[in-house]
Amino acid sequence: MRYYNSKHKYHCGVDLHSKAMYLCIVDSMGEIVLHRNFPANPEAFLKAVAPYKESLVVGCECTYSWYWLADVCQKEGIEFVLGHALYMKAIHGAKSKNDKIDSEKLARLLRGGMFPLAYVYPEEMRATRDLMRRRLFFVQKRSELMAHVQMTHHQYNLTAPKKSLVYRGNRNELELNFKDPSTNRMLESDLKMIEHYSEEIEKLEWFIPKTAKQNENNALLLALLQSVPGIGDILSLTLLYEIQDIARFPTQQHFCSYSRLVKPEKTSAGKTTGGGGKKIGNHHLKWAFSEAAVLMLAKSEEAKKYHKRLMKKGSKAKALSTMTHRLGKAVYFMLLRKEVFKPSFFFAH
C-alpha cells in the first residue's frame, strides 16, 4: 500500500457523485476553510477552489465518476490524487457516514499522509483501455450464452454441440430437436444473441488494433509482447493498455502483486493467519496472463516440457500457476528493457 505524503498548504477532500460533490478543504494547521456541497461540474469546482489554488492537493475515492475531475485538475495545474477504494474503506470506517463526514475524512487523510493511492490512468490512453474492457465483457456474455446452449442439451439428455459455437458455420448447422417448442425458441434466442455479440466483437477487434498502433511506442511494445508464444493481438493489447507504463512499478514483485499473480499472506507473531486481499489488483491482467499461459502450452513444445518439470514438484494447477507467475515476471523485464521474449531464459532449469 502506498500513501500520499507530500506537503501542501491546503488539502481538499472530494466526496464525488454523479450530480453532486461535497468539498472539504483544510489548511496545514488542520482548520477547515471550506466545507459545503456543490454541483458536480468543472465550473463549480474551479470557482470553489480558486482562492486556494496556489498550493492545493485534491483527493477523491476511485469511483466511476473521477475521470472528469482528474482531467480538470491536470489542465489547471492542480495536484490530483486518487484514493484506493478498498484500502480507503478499511481506513475511514466509522459509526456514522454521510457526504459531509466522508469529505472531511478524505481531506484529513491527505493532510496526515495516510491517503492510500490508486493509479491515475492518463487521459490519452483511457478511452481505448475502456473499450478493450467492454470487448471482454461482450466476450464473457457470449460465452455464457454458448454455455447455456450446451447445458440445455445436457439437461434434456441430448447430444450437446461438439463444435464450437463461436464460428457462424457451426451455429448454422446446429439442429434444435427438443420436444417442447418453448425450449427450441429459447435456444434460438440464445443463438441470435450470440450472432449479435459476435458481429460487434469482430468490429471491435478490427477497430482497436488500428487505433492502438498509430502510436510508434505502442507498436514497439505490442511487437515485444507478441514475441511471447501464445500472446496475439488481443492479449498484447490487453496487457499494453492495462499496464500503460511499466516504469510505475518499482520492482517485478510489485507488478506481479498488482496483476494478482501472487498469493497474499497475512502473518502475526510469526504465525500465518490466512490469506486476504484477493480483490486488490487488476483482474484484467490476471485474466490476460492466465490465458497467455494456457495458449503458450498449446503452441510451444518447450512450454509443455517446462510444465511437466513443474508438475513433478506439485499438482497440475500449481504448475500452471507457477508458470503464469513466471510469465508475469518475464513480461515485466521485457517491457522495462525493451527486449523480446527469450525462451532459453524462460524455460531454463
Q: Which of 332, 252, 238, 246 is nearest to 285 (CA)?
A: 238
Grid look-up 507530500 returns 6
Give the count of domains, the chain: 3
Residue 92 banded pLDDT, cuts 50, 70, 90: low
Both 174 and 67 in a single domain? no
What is the structure's pLDDT at 63?
A: 85
Measured distance CA(269)–CA(73) in Å, rounded:
44
Both 258 and 204 in a single domain? no
Q: Residue 47 domain-assigned?
A: yes
Both 245 and 302 in a single domain? yes
Q: Which of 183, 212, 241 is the last residue of a domain?
A: 212
Q: Residue 269 domain-assigned?
A: no
What is the structure's pLDDT at 106?
A: 93
Measured distance CA(58)–CA(53) in Å, rounded:
10
Q: Which of 99, 120, 141 is the last residue of a domain?
A: 120
Q: Considering the chain, what is the average pLDDT of its residues?
A: 91
Both 282 and 336 in a single domain? yes
Residue 276 banded pLDDT, cuts 50, 70, 90: low
What is the structure's pLDDT at 322?
A: 92
Contact 92, 102 (CB under 8 A): yes
Q: Which of 58, 93, 120 is the last residue of a domain?
A: 120
For residues 37-56, average pLDDT:
94
Does residue 349 carry a pLDDT above 90?
no
For residues 32-46, average pLDDT:
95
* Partner residues linked to 12 by β-bridges: 25, 58
Q: What separation in angstroms does the CA of 173 have from each of 141, 143, 159, 164? A: 22, 19, 14, 11
107-121, 262-276, 303-317: which has the minimum mean pLDDT? 262-276
Both 54 and 99 in a single domain? yes
Both 110 and 130 in a single domain? no
Measured distance CA(180)–CA(70) in Å, rounded:
56
Q: Residue 300 domain-assigned?
A: yes
Measured distance CA(216)–CA(220) in Å, rounded:
6
Residue 275 banded pLDDT, cuts 50, 70, 90: low
For residues 213-232, average pLDDT:
87
What is the structure's pLDDT at 91?
A: 65
For residues 227-252, average pLDDT:
93
Both 113 and 129 in a single domain? no
What is the structure's pLDDT at 191?
A: 95
Q: Residue 204 domain-assigned?
A: yes
Does residue 200 carry a pLDDT above 90?
yes
Q: Residue 220 domain-assigned?
A: no
CATH of the domain at 84: 3.30.420.10
Instruction: Name the more confident of 317 and 1.
Output: 317
Q: Which of 32, 81, 25 is nearest to 54 (CA)?
A: 25
Q: Residue 219 domain-assigned?
A: no
Question: How many CA atoms are closer than 13 Å to the CA of 279, on its beta-carbon side?
Answer: 5
Both 90 and 154 in a single domain? no
For residues 15-28, average pLDDT:
94
Both 49 and 87 in a single domain? yes
What is the structure's pLDDT at 79?
A: 95
Structural domain boundaries, residue 207: 125-212
Instruction: Name the more confident of 266 and 318.
Output: 318
Both 130 and 177 in a single domain? yes
Both 77 and 137 in a single domain? no
What is the structure's pLDDT at 274?
A: 65
Does residue 171 carry a pLDDT above 80?
yes
